[in-house]
Amino acid sequence: MTVTGEETAVGTDPLEPPLMAPLRRDLTWDRVQSMTQSAGHRDDAVLQRIRSTAAVRRGTRMMKVLSAAQLAGHLAGWLPYGFCYRACDIAHLRTPAELSLLRTDGASDSDVAYALRWRAVDPVDYETPMAEVQSGLSALPAHSRVGPMVLGTGFTPSTDDLIPEFVTAGFADLPLPANAQLLAYPGTGDEVVLYTYQPEQHGWLRLAGPRWRHLLDGVPGVSPDREYVPCTDAGSARLVGRINEHEYQAVADPPEEFRVRALTRAARYPVTTLSRRAEQALWRTVPCWVLQRDDSWARLRLIRPDADTVSAVGARCYERGVYEVWAPVRELVDHHVAELAYEL
């Protein structure tokens, strides 16, 4: 949603504040659109003010547009990471052609678009790629990136739409909250809920009925007739909470419920503290997330990719803004578990 005018009053969802632009005679809609598409305006105070109105709050619905292969990855246990959008900002995009500009894998040849939708646990999990935040992305050469270039204005490259974009903080994996959904958008303009996430079981429950199961035909390794799909990937990030002096694995159900992860409902007590934990390390002085590791090798993702760090470690771009590399475990420095505490 976009609201224009200096003194505009509008009834909106408090969890999804609208993007607001103070249009006037010398700041027309065309002018704002032009500013969002020009890297020369990344430090513009007016544009920064407009961009700041599109805020993420606890419980804001977030979305990431997926390919069929990425959908299969999330069914296997991938977590949300990288570029994403507020659901309210892209609600008008309902067909594969319209959603193709938000794809992160650089492809657009599909009759069906897929998406992951979840609620934000906390605003600190998201960054706006604007000005000095993830500034190295906009300077990366075309041959070393996937998908549209990053303008550094906080908006997706588009000649028609004004779409604020976000990245997960430091391109981190974020633990999936309860009731996350995997969606499909066929060419009819319908939104189809394919699966919903069951955090206690760490798996996906199919919701798509017989009418829509053909939308899963092109998803590699997925049987459309399977009602429940367990995640085989444990994920690189997890939530932990405390009750008194005891620590438990936790589940987030934003905006208000944060509880102990337990199969029985009676044991799902609310936690009094909540933190996100994931492994970090330095390799060749470059800060990275440790996504996987065994005794010899570790899979790393760059936290602040730029031309120098990508070259230093020989990282490869797998998605828009996402650079990963394998490294010998013995060469990692300052390997530790990073913990981000949320304020409940």
The model's pLDDT over 288-339, given as tens digits with 9 standing for 90+, comes to: 999 999 999 999 999 999 999 999 999 999 999 999 999 999 999 999 999 9
Average pLDDT, the chain: 94
Tens of pLDDT, residue by residue over 5-37, are 444 444 468 899 999 999 999 999 899 999 999
H or E segment and range at residue 194: strand 192-198
DSSP letter at 312 equals H
- If we measure between CA atoms, which residue out of 246, 245, 208 comes closest to residue 227? 208
Q: Could you give the CA distance from residue 198 to residue 282 in angstroms, rounded to a whole number? A: 34
In this prediction, residue 234 carries a pLDDT of 87
Domain boundaries, the chain: 2-52, 61-230, 237-274, 278-342
In this prediction, residue 4 carries a pLDDT of 47
pLDDT confidence bin for 2, thresholds 50/70/90: low
Q: Could you give the CA distance from residue 35 to residue 52 in angstroms, rounded to a whole number? A: 15
In this prediction, residue 195 carries a pLDDT of 98
For the residues 248-262, what does the mean pLDDT come to?
97
203 and 76 in contact (C-beta within 8 Å)? Answer: no
Q: Helices (DSSP H) in 127-261: which residue ranges? A: none
pLDDT at 108 over 90: no
Ramachandran category for residue 260: left, alpha or beta (phi over 0 → left; psi -120 to 50 → alpha): beta
pLDDT at 162 over 80: yes
**β-strand 2-4 against 19-21: which pairing, if any?**
parallel
Q: Could you give the CA distance from residue 326 to residue 80 in angstroms, rounded to a whole number? A: 21
Question: Cβ neighbours of residue 209 under 8 Å, at least 6 residues apart?
Answer: none
Mapped onto helix, strand or coil, the DSSP state of residue 175 is coil
